[in-house]
Structures are given as structure tokens and as C-alpha cells.
Structure 1
């Protein structure tokens, strides 16, 4: 598979001895214009990789904060096409920051995998996280995505045992997303002492970077978790700032504090 922006970003961070900070936003929340303003402000706030949520009516892994964000976006008329358009608009001024689209398979399936991958590539999407497609379904989207030069990023969780882990890692690329807690986004706080042995276990089986998400909402937590992994993801805490109606500059200020925590690890 060709080198992606995600691969290049991790190589650059490694050369600098820095951990990655990944930020999640919901595409189109509360509307496309404000969502795009926040997205454009993220790299300047220290975000290394942007996770762009595809709003969907029936999420499984997302807690109430991100569910409500998805609902606001859908109520505002957000679609998969508009999410791709948003990425393409971002790419007009930023050709470097990796974008990972995160969501569920239904909208992609409805569009058609080949068409979706061609459109995603054209829009400047670098990776996909599709939480409801297990490794047993790799031929559906994972393998075609990699063939198209788009990383397919898999989730590992506290319940991914030694027997299951090789299957999860088999066709994963870009990075491994370790879910720090059992349950949904925005729930329990991630505990470094619990996460550290799990990250070590995954790293013993793969050369890919391991990024930890779920339950990280302060600069201190970002630093503690990034210190034991290759970086961390923050989603719900950022989405809450958007939900409170804060302008992009204020959201970016909050994000910068989190990124500073991760980068100081």
C-alpha cells in the first residue's frame, strides 16, 4: 500500500520525538459553515490528525454527546456527500493534515463502496474508521479501501483477547485505535494504569502506532495517556464545546490546551 498522509505524519512525529494528538469533530454540527470553521482551526491548535464524523441515525459506539451532535447535523441537512464536500473544502487550504472519516457502514453501503472510495480519495480522505464492520467483513470495505490507498483503522478494546487480537490487526493500517474503557464515548475516564499494559500487549503484536481514545477530556489526561501510547484522541470534550455554541476560535483554544498536554508527554 502507498504511503498515506497518516503514515507520513507518524514518521514526522517520531523523528521529532513527539506523541500524536487526534481530534474528533462531527461533520455538519451544528451546521456546515461553523463545522468547517472549527475544522480549519484544528491544525493551528496543534491537532496532528482530524477525525471527521459522518452523522448517522443509529450509532452504536457513541455516547450521548456525539449522538446529539450527529442528530443536530442530520437535522441541519448534513449528508455523506456534504461530509465529503467539507473535507474537499478543507483540502483547498490544507494539503498536509490527515483526515480520518469515522462512522458506520450503512451510508457507505447505500452509496456503493467503489463510488464512495473514489469520492473519498478525491476529497482528500486518508483513513476510515467504520466501527460496525468486524474483521470477518474485510472484503466489504477494508481491503478495497487499502487498495484505493486509504488506511483502514481498526478498534481494539479491553475485551479484545489474545485469540482475537491477531484477527483485529490483520488488515489494519495507519494506526490502531485502542478504546480505553468498555462502553461508549464520553463515559468513564481513561486510567493510565489500566491502559498501559493493554497498549504494551498490542504493540508486542504490531509495528503500527497505537492511539488511545474514549474517556480523555483534560490536558492532564491527554498527557498521561499519550505518555503510555503513541498519542491520544479527544472527541466528546471537543464536541461539547461546539454544542455550547462557542465560536471556532474558542474551541481551538480549548483544543490547543489538550494538544499541549499530549505533546508534552
Structure 2
């Protein structure tokens, strides 16, 4: 049982949906992003998705691309992102942390070294969007052997033939991408998401969390009502990009979390 598994079991026992928030490590600088990160659980966040900045983020829209650029220009690295996790764990040993990013920085560090460092830092799961199931032996299977969940994305184009392959070595939860496209590109619609979540849940016992296209408490509530919870990323990153104080960012997150929990 990872922290992710424990969190979902607790939420299920309480009859609540999950709220997952994404922030980019090191945006706009390391100390500010760490301050936001430390405040997320108190704002109602059940799971933290922490972005590892990368130069070529193929799944991310302009908002998160720019966040990654700001972080890289500020000197953020994979090592510093793992250090953020260590510093967070000094005061919180319960909230699950999922690293979201791309394979290149991990490959550059070396899979074995990365997994050892991530586990010791207090990481619970990985989302690596440019490693398809055909490459599971590269990172997914070693990660699970190291005690980390490997979370896979399913999308509107993941048909019934492809879905079993996507689910094969997935653990923790399934991340359903509500739209065809990049983060922050369009609004998620519960009427479209609901049947897709039901289709995935018919094929797995894992929780299904919906992300992309959620930016208001109302949408968070609507999407969470047809899934096991929701993820908000670009909308939170945009608040940070506008230079709002940490307290204001966290208040925005608090309202989103309340909406998701009402779902």
C-alpha cells in the first residue's frame, strides 16, 4: 500500500471524491513553489502532482510550458525538484506526491539512481507521459518494483482495443484526459466525461481521476461527480504566473477543492 492507495481507501470510506492539484516545481522560483506546495494539503488537496520542468513538454499547453521555462531559467532541475519533496516531507508524511514529467531527465540521471532517489525523497508515484505501455520495461515495471505507483493516462482516443494495454501495468489511479489535445486548451464537460469514466471503470478496479479543462469550483464538482475525483493544473499555474501571493493562490485552490469534494 502506497500513500496513494491509502488515500483513496480513506476517501472511499468517507464517501468523498479526490482533489488533485498540479504545480510546476521551481515556478516562479524554488522557495515560492515550495511554500505553495506546503500549503496545498491545508487547502483541501488530497494528492499533489509536482511537475518536473522539461524543455520539450509535448502534452502541456502554453500555461504549463511557460511555467516550465520560468523554472528552468531559475535553475530548477530534477535534483532540486526531488529536494522539494524531501523538504515537504519534513512536515508532512501523509500527503501523496506524484512526479509528472518526461522521460529524458530520468534517462539522463539513470533509471536505477532516479528510482532510488525518488523513493528516498518521499515520492509515491510517477506520470511519465512520453513512455507508452510498449516501453514498460524501461521505467514502469522497475518503478513498481521499487514501490512507486506508475500512473497511466487514458484519453478520448483510447478505444476498447487499446484500453487493456494501457491498464496492464497501471497502479495508483488512472488519469483520464477529458479532452483531445493539450492542457488548458478547452473546458471539460461532465456529459462527455461520464460515459468514458464508466467505460474505464468497467475494465479496472483502480480509481479514475479526470484532468485537463477544469478551472472553476463548479466544473470541479461536475467532473468529480462522474469520476473518483479531478485534477486541476493549468488554472492553478496561471494564478502563480500572475504573481499572486501564496495565500491567494491557496485560497483559489481551496475553492476548487471544495467543489471537487462536493462532487
Aligned residue for 2:255? 257
Other structure's SS at 1:6 match: helix
Aligned residue for 1:170? 168
1:142 to 140, 143, 155: 140
Counterparts of 1:36-75 in structure 2, within 5 Å, are 36-75=34-73
Aligned residue for 1:234? 232
Aligned residue for 1:95? 93
Query: Shift of the alpha carbon at 1:145?
Result: 0.2
In the TM superposition, what whole-angstrom CA distance separates every residue of 1:20-41 from its partner, at most 9, and x where no partner exists?
A: 0000000000100000000001
Aligned residue for 1:185? 183
Aligned residue for 1:210? 208
Aligned residue for 2:217? 219
Cα distance between partner residues in 2 of 1:21 and 1:86: 21
Aligned residue for 1:78? 76
Cα distance between partner residues in 2 of 1:14 and 1:161: 28
Other structure's SS at 1:168 match: helix
Cα distance between partner residues in 1 of 2:20 and 2:5: 14
Query: Shift of the alpha carbon at 1:247?
Result: 1.4
Cα distance between partner residues in 1 of 2:151 and 2:51: 14
Aligned residue for 2:10? 12
Cα distance between partner residues in 1 of 2:34 and 2:239: 15
Aligned residue for 1:127? 125
Query: Shift of the alpha carbon at 1:246?
Result: 1.0
Cα distance between partner residues in 1 of 2:79 and 2:247: 26
**Root mean square deviation of aligned Cα:** 0.3
**Count of equivalent residues:** 263
Other structure's SS at 2:192 match: helix
Aligned residue for 1:248? 246
1:117 to 90, 115, 118: 115
The answer to whether 1:106 aligns with 2:81 is: no
The runs of 5 or more residues in structure 2 that have no matched partner are none
Query: Shift of the alpha carbon at 1:72?
Result: 0.1
Cα distance between partner residues in 2 of 1:35 and 1:176: 26
Cα distance between partner residues in 1 of 2:18 and 2:262: 10
Cα distance between partner residues in 2 of 1:50 and 1:250: 18
Cα distance between partner residues in 2 of 1:116 and 1:252: 30
Cα distance between partner residues in 2 of 1:246 and 1:142: 37
The runs of 5 or more residues in structure 1 that have no matched partner are none
Aligned residue for 1:200? 198
Query: Shift of the alpha carbon at 1:129?
Result: 0.1
Query: Shift of the alpha carbon at 1:82?
Result: 0.2
Query: Shift of the alpha carbon at 1:159?
Result: 0.2
Other structure's SS at 1:206 match: coil
